[in-house]
Every structure is written in structure tokens, then in C-alpha cells.
Amino acid sequence: MPVENGDEQDDQEAVERRRDRRRLVKQFLIDWSPVMAGLANLVVRHFSWIRERWTRS
């Protein structure tokens, strides 16, 4: 059964939309990675401080 031209165009548009979404996600992760790294560092320091306080008592 031959594929209609409209279906091919819809498929191509869907591929382009997925590609654009992936590009946006990658750019978001790149842009926000320093912020996320800083936040992770704060969380680790916080829990290290809590553990230190618990082991002293």
C-alpha cells in the first residue's frame, strides 16, 4: 500500500518537532547545569553538617 504524501509530511514534521524538543532539553540542561551543581553542593554540605552534629552527641 503506497504512503500518501500527507502522511510523509506529517511524519517529517513529527520528526522535526521531536528534534527541536530534544535540542531545547539539551540547551536547558546545559544552561542550568551550574545552578544544579551548586544546589547539589549545598544539599551535600547540609547533610554532612547534620551527620557531623549527630555523631558529636
What confidence category does residue 57 fall into, taking pLDDT thresholds of 50, 70 and 90?
low
CA–CA gap between residue 35 and residue 41 (Å, rounded): 10
Beta strand extents in the chain (DSSP E only): none
Q: Which tens digit of pLDDT belongs to each residue from 22-35?
A: 999 999 999 999 99
Region 22-49: mean pLDDT is 96
Give the pLDDT confidence score for residue 1 in this predicted structure: 46
CA–CA gap between residue 29 and residue 23 (Å, rounded): 10
Task: Give the position of cell 544552561.
Answer: 31
Output phi, psi for 4, to 5 deg.
-75, 155
Residue 19 pLDDT > 50, yes or no? yes
What is residue 3's three-state secondary structure?
coil
pTM: 0.56
